[in-house]
Amino acid sequence: MPTTSRASRCGARPPTRSSSCSRRAPASKPGRGGGQVSRSAPASPGRSERLGAWGPFRGPHVRRPPMELKGQVAIVTGAGRGIGRATALELARLGADIVIAEVDQHNADTTAKLVKDLGRRAAVVHTDVTKRAALATMAERTKAELGRIDILVNNAGIYRAAATLDVTEDHWDAIMDINAKAVFFASQAVLPTMIAQKRGSIVSLASMAGKIGSKTNLPYNASKAAVVSMTKSLALAHAADGIRVNCVCPGFVETDMWTMVARDQSKLLGLTPEEFTRQREKAVPLGRMERPEDVANVIAFLCTERAGYMTGQALSVDGGLVMHG
């Protein structure tokens, strides 16, 4: 969900005490947020910056904050496709240099080229997120080649469906190793650098599945619930170090993984993949399937100073499918 700035009532300049908009306003006229606007009262600290630093509101479109992440370095695991690629590109648009931590060399190289086309540096680090040593190497190479680590996006993940009695130990371990264990050890790998910098942002991919139950997704749901729990614990453990830790919980996202979801779930439910997808789309209050960019926009927001007072949060980005904590 793209973040929008509050509009100036004049539509041309952010409201300040010296603006013509402020001079015309009656002393007791209610503001847009329900407060009072006074000609004589001083603006609160940072008010003009909060209201107007990103440009005035112009109808349905808002000027994007320019290069909010300039000079920062972001690692995105699983950035070769889908949400990972969309996130890498969105962070690059905001000025970050990108490390693509990926096992698929071709997809990683494609993402790297797209990042470079945006004028940012890109490095590809072959990373098997199930190996702690590989994650340590990922962090070491990032610091050696790009000088710092400001952002980690734990995006790599897999999906596999099965009825409860059909879940095997291998199935359980595969899901947990990539979706949960890797999130912790990737975070652990970058934390020393972030602690030394006294700043950093970690954003992990959970899922709406981590907030609800499922008849046919138990290991997957459990792995995503683990991400939500780890997010809260890491946020508490490292808030004093200047590190913010959050996660996002997408819904039905049109990616290669969704093709697998529709295939596996439709078999278990006696539907075709197309029927399953149509049913799920109809269930979305906002009326459409989710795009990778919908998720990437929220991840990017969490990495910026606009989210500087947010940590330990699990944000639903699912078109309204889950409307509770």
Name residue 77's beta-bridge partners: 101
Beta strands 73-77; 97-102: pairing state: parallel
The span from the CA of 253 to the CA of 318, in Å, is 8
What's the alpha-carbon Rg for the chain, to the nearest Å? 22
Q: How far apart are the first and last CA of the chain?
A: 17
Q: Has 309 been annotated as catalytic?
A: no
Q: Tokens 């995006």 correspond to what residue?
A: 155
From 57, 184, 185, 220, the catalytic residue? 220
C-alpha 87/C-alpha 98 separation (Å) is: 10
The Cα 55–Cα 122 span in angstroms is 29
Say which amino acid occupies 278.
R
Cβ–Cβ under 8 Å, residues 81 and 257:
no
| Chain centroid to CA 226 | 17
Long-range contacts of 106-115 (CB under 8 A, 24+ apart): 106/80, 107/80, 107/81, 108/79, 108/80, 110/80, 110/85, 111/79, 111/80, 111/81, 111/84, 111/85, 114/85, 114/88, 114/89, 115/88, 115/89
Smallest Cα–Cα separation from 55: which of 90, 12, 9, 3? 12
Q: How many Cα atoms occupy the beta-carbon half-sphere of 29 within 13 Å?
A: 12
H-helix or E-strand spanning residue 184? helix 182-197
Catalytic residues: 220
